Amino acid sequence: MAMSLSTLAVSALCTALLPVLLCLTVLKLWEVYCLSRRDSGCDRPLPPGTMGLPFFGETLQMVLQRRKFLRVKRMKYGRIYKTHLFGSPTVRVMGAENVRQILLGEHKLVSVHWPASVRTILGSGCLSNLHDSEHKDMKKVIMKAFTREALQHYVPVIEEEVRGALSMWLQSGSCVLVYPAVKRLMFRVAMRILLGFEPRHMDQLQEQQLVEAFEEMIRNLFSLPIDVPFSGFYRGLRARNIIHAKIEENIKEKLLKEPDGSCKDALQLLIEHSRRNGEPVNMQALKESATELLFGGHGTTASAATSLITFLGLHNEVLQKVRKELETKGLLSNTPEDKKDLSIEILEQLKYTGCVLKETLRLSPPVPGGFRVALKTFELNGYQIPKGWNVIYSICDTHDVAEISPNKDEFNPDRFLTPFPGDSSRFSFIPFGGGLRTCVGKEFAKILLKIFIVELSRSCDWELLNGPPTMKTGPIVYPVDNLPTKFKVFNSTV
């Protein structure tokens, strides 16, 4: 009987230990496999870091914890570390000098390479996923929509939309959830300016459905590429298809009519480019490009505008300095009959307002970073980056670690009144990326956000009802509580 009990105990122990041993063995084999991916022809070590679970790597931790995950990694491993994300061994890079080498190494050391989920959902025909001459040609086409002449043409449209949104916020008389409200505003601006949609093309319900589809698509851009019902990837694709269907309607309308002589929107320019040399229109590529334009044109600006309301709401002394600058330019009146219309020239003269925008983008860049893949093994700050590994350059961490001025954690627009010294400082502030892949619409974004600051400052006073918000990245930076805010009319004569 004793022997039987002993045998049972041993058997139970083995049964319990076997899964643990198997798990440890699999983890060890995974670690060995990952380390075997280093380039033995290079004598430099891999960066420090961990590779996480088999296949999944550390993707789940990053998606679920995001800022906490990245903060812990940075504190533990420094400015370059290895990990395993979205199915690929990855090196994460931050710091002006390190990022400079990545951004200026396009086509030589690295090439753009977004995760499979992003490539599939956005599509191979959009600018972000094109390479070499195709990328160069399409960028040249889209840049025609952002010339100085075109930007001046957009100013009255932006003013109209911003004033209309602010008027609604002021008339609400109660709490406004700023982030959703700003997303709707920026979506309307992007639809009108980038795609040539007129407000009459959609009622409020259709507009809201399209905004929600974009939100669902963006939320699931960075997901495991497993196309099964209820997965994030599946939901992202389904939302993308809703967006494509609406955009296709607009493209077909544009194909049936001749463009007038006024400034052409980005979608019209892409249609004309697609028809060059008598070639048939590539409808799928146009839908993908238009979707990317809307994504970049409203998601990032909505994030930045929400952050502007946050920082100006928390720092009244900065808001008063903005108003003082507006007053010196004759722009402070908030009565409709006395409001002075804006122009590119006037906006360029608002130096302090520009500094407020820069400081907002420094502390809260809408996009946290960019993805590349190593074209060959190369050395970075004493470590090897093996050929074929993904490289993520971090915008937010690079801003955090930059030694560009004292008290860098404080909101202080004055720091941008004088230029930063040195070449590396050019890469200490990179809210729009850099190098050949600099955001194609950055000048449009800056004009749009400057107009937003002007109209907000001369029309509204406001109170953040929950105080400083908790920020989350998913993948664009936004406030967890949607920033509930009470707006009231600003009286410039008081």
With contact defined as beta carbons under 8 Å apart, do 492 and 458 qualify? yes
Scanning 295-394, the segments in alpha helix (DSSP H) are 300-314, 316-328, 344-349, 351-363
Cα 415 to Cα 315, 339, 407, 442, 484: the distances in Å are: 15, 30, 10, 21, 29
Scanning 37-80, the segments in alpha helix (DSSP H) are 59-65, 67-77
Residue 274 lies in a domain: yes
Q: pLDDT value at position 229?
A: 87
Residue 343 lies in a domain: yes
Q: Where are the beta strands (DSSP E) in 86-210?
A: 88-93, 110-112, 176-177
Q: pLDDT value at position 317?
A: 97
Beta bridge partners of 93: 80, 393
Cα 340 to Cα 152, 453, 456: the distances in Å are: 15, 15, 14
Q: pLDDT value at position 58?
A: 85
Residue 260 lies in a domain: yes
With contact defined as beta carbons under 8 Å apart, do 21 and 370 qualify? no
The total of structural domains in the chain comes to 1
Which H or E element spans position 384? strand 383-385
Determine the Cα–Cα distance for residues 385 and 433; give it in Å rounded to an integer: 21
Identify the sign of the CA torsion 411, 354, 329, 494: negative
Residue 138 three-state SS:
helix
Q: What is the pLDDT of residues 284-326, one digit of tens each?
A: 888 999 999 888 888 899 999 999 999 999 999 999 999 999 9
Q: pLDDT value at position 463?
A: 95
Cα radius of gyration (the chain)? 25
Determine the Cα–Cα distance for residues 135 and 244; give it in Å rounded to an integer: 22
- Give residue for tokens 């570390």: 81
Determine the Cα–Cα distance for residues 391 and 383; give it in Å rounded to an integer: 13
Q: pLDDT value at position 423?
A: 47
Which H or E element spans position 82? strand 80-85
Residue 50 lies in a domain: no
CA atoms within 13 A on the CB side of 447: 27
CATH number of the structural domain spanning residue 475: 1.10.630.10
Q: What is the pLDDT of residues 399-412, one digit of tens each?
A: 988 887 778 889 99
Q: What is the pLDDT of residues 206-229, one digit of tens each?
A: 788 888 898 899 888 888 788 888
In angstroms, the first-to-last Cα distance of the chain is 95
Local confidence pLDDT in tens for the 494 residues of the chain: 555 666 666 566 566 666 666 555 655 555 665 665 677 888 899 999 999 888 778 888 887 777 788 888 999 999 999 999 888 899 999 999 999 999 999 889 999 888 888 899 998 888 888 888 888 888 999 999 999 999 999 999 999 999 999 999 999 878 999 999 999 999 999 999 988 887 666 677 778 888 889 889 988 888 878 888 888 899 999 999 999 998 888 888 888 877 666 678 888 888 888 877 677 788 888 899 999 988 888 889 999 999 999 999 999 999 999 999 999 999 887 666 667 789 999 999 999 999 999 999 999 999 989 999 999 999 999 999 999 999 999 999 999 888 877 788 899 999 998 877 654 568 999 999 988 889 999 999 999 999 999 999 999 999 999 999 999 887 889 999 999 999 999 887 64
Q: In Å, how far from its chain's centre is CA 10?
A: 56
Determine the Cα–Cα distance for residues 111 and 105; give it in Å rounded to an integer: 8
With contact defined as beta carbons under 8 Å apart, do 296 and 439 qualify? yes
Q: In Å, how far from its chain's centre is CA 4?
A: 65
Residue 376 lies in a domain: yes
Q: pLDDT value at position 85?
A: 87
Residue 37 lies in a domain: no
Residue 415's domain spans which residues?
Answer: 59-489
For residue 429, is it left (φ>0), alpha (ψ between -120 and 50) or beta?
A: beta
Determine the Cα–Cα distance for residues 276 and 419; give it in Å rounded to an integer: 44
